């Protein structure tokens, strides 16, 4: 890591992260990519230098026994100079450690105190254990994802941990930072994955109220119910995606692949959806994924092949945009989003050695 010359729009921002898993580290990775100086406080004996710890990239690690008075005071000194604190423990843990919001804001009244949990800081489930799948289960999101005749499908941990968690935490922290710059006063940001996942479902709540989104999986526009917005198998057992929602894109698809003319105007006739699906499935099974990519990629039919991670890195579009970059021999996703004047950059891999708290305090003078 090179904190002396970071790039990005958050250059100069000082962040103290209390080590955790999942959405907290990912949020701090994004902040670091955008130029923030992120210091992770971890326990003594923590093994560092794991080359594939991509979400741990671009920060310094301070090892501190929070039960030791000297170490505790050093951490408080860091927090006095910090702009943001990020923690992802169960409610009450930071208070028991002596680093709850009241204690920290007393030492630094302008700090933004970001709290990342699954259930939130309060509520009947606040103290219960849980993971992404549990949090999105009560938001309505999980119920909506999966096949019509099967159980809901876990969407990795993208909706709870990262979409409803990390990204909402960052939005809240940056908003609170702006307000702190105006008022001189910090505040607590309570980012709960249940809240974030529910927020992500806003459009579908609206659609349900309009009567155009049903609760039966696989029966709606965006859940695989519509034959023109779903995944199809190809002749070689691979898969491709079709997203021809707009009438002009649907029409172009029909023309390009030879859909029978009597079905060209059946896009929004739900009674015809089973027939359209069967016809599209039959057509896509006639060629391999590579052949369909050569025929349809880059056209207005809204097409893309379904690629595993190993092949996604080699896709020509991703290569042209440098969507994946290499840091000390480790191929990984590049910083996102992109800025025209203050470009983000990866500030280095996950650290191999801890940094003494005194060194951080010296550079944060």
C-beta separation of 239 from 233 below 8 A: yes
* Rg from Cα positions in the chain: 24
What pLDDT, on a 0 to 100 scale, did the predictor assign at position 326?
96
131 is catalytic: yes
Quick count: other Cβ atoms within 10 Å of Cβ 145?
16
Q: Is 221 exposed, middle or buried (0-12, 13-18, 19+ CB in 10 A)?
A: middle
User: Would strands 303-305 and 112-117 be described as parallel, antiparallel, or unpaired?
Assistant: unpaired
Domain limits, CATH 3.40.50.10540, in the chain = 14-201+325-363
Q: Which of 37, 83, 161, 223 is catalytic?
A: 161
52 is catalytic: no
What pLDDT, on a 0 to 100 scale, did the predictor assign at position 295?
98
Domain limits, CATH 3.30.1540.10, in the chain = 229-307
What pLDDT, on a 0 to 100 scale, did the predictor assign at position 7?
86
Q: What is the pLDDT of residues 110-150, one digit of tens each?
A: 999 999 999 999 999 999 999 999 999 999 999 999 999 99
Q: Which of 42, 131, 190, 315 is catalytic?
A: 131
Q: What is the pLDDT of residues 293-306, one digit of tens each?
A: 999 999 999 999 99
User: Could you tell me which residues come within 8 angstroms of residue 245 by beta carbon, excluding any fewer than 6 positions away?
Assistant: 221, 226, 228, 229, 302
What pLDDT, on a 0 to 100 scale, did the predictor assign at position 51?
86
Backbone φ and ψ of 111, nearest 5°: -70, 145
What pLDDT, on a 0 to 100 scale, did the predictor assign at position 4?
57
What pLDDT, on a 0 to 100 scale, did the predictor assign at position 206?
97
Helix (H) or strand (E) holding 280: helix 273-284
Q: What is the 3-state secondary structure (H, E, C) of 1-61?
A: CCCCCCCCCCCCCEEEEECCCCHHHHHHHHHHHCCCEEEEEECCCCCCCCCCCHHHCCEEE
pTM, two decimals, is: 0.95
Tokens encoding 336:
């996102």
What pLDDT, on a 0 to 100 scale, did the predictor assign at position 6?
78
Q: According to the CATH classification, is domain 14-201+325-363 in 2.40.30.10?
A: no
Q: According to the CATH classification, is domain 229-307 in 3.30.1540.10?
A: yes
- Counting as low any pLDDT under 70, the low residues of the chain are 1-4
């Amino acid at each position: 890591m090179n904190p002396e010359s970071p790039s990005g729009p958050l250059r100069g921002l000082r962040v103290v992260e209390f080590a955790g898993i999942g959405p907290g580290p990912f949020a701090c990775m994004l902040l670091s990519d955008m130029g923030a100086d992120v210091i992770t406080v971890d326990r003594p004996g923590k093994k560092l230098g794991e080359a594939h710890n991509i979400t741990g990239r671009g920060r310094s690690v301070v090892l501190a026994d929070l039960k030791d008075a000297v170490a505790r005071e050093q951490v408080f000194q860091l927090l006095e100079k910090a702009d943001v604190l990020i923690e992802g423990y169960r409610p009450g843990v930071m208070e028991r450690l002596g680093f709850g919001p009241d204690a920290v804001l007393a030492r630094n009244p302008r700090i933004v105190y970001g709290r990342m949990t699954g259930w939130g800081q309060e509520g009947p489930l606040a103290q219960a254990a849980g993971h992404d799948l549990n949090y999105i289960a009560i938001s309505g999101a999980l119920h909506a994802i999966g096949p019509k005749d099967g159980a809901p499908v876990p969407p990795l941990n993208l909706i709870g941990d990262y979409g409803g968690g990390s990204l909402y935490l960052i939005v809240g922290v940056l908003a609170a930072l702006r307000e702190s710059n105006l008022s001189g006063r910090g505040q607590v940001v309570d980012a709960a994955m249940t809240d974030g996942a529910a927020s992500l479902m806003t459009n579908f709540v609206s659609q349900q109220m309009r009567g155009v989104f049903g609760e039966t999986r696989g029966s709606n526009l965006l859940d695989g119910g519509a034959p023109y917005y779903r995944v199809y198998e190809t002749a070689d057992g691979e898969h491709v995606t079709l997203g021809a929602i707009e009438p002009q894109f649907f029409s172009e698809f029909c023309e390009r692949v030879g859909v029978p003319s009597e079905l060209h105007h059946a896009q929004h006739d739900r009674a015809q959806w089973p027939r359209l699906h069967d016809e599209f499935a039959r057509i896509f099974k006639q060629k391999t994924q590579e052949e369909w990519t050569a025929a349809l990629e880059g056209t207005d039919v809204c097409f893309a092949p379904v690629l595993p991670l190993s092949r996604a890195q080699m896709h020509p579009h991703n290569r042209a945009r440098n969507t994946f970059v290499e840091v000390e021999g480790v191929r990984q996703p590049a910083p996102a989003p992109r800025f025209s004047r203050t470009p983000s950059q990866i500030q280095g891999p996950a650290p191999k050695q801890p940094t003494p708290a005194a060194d951080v305090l010296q550079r944060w003078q």
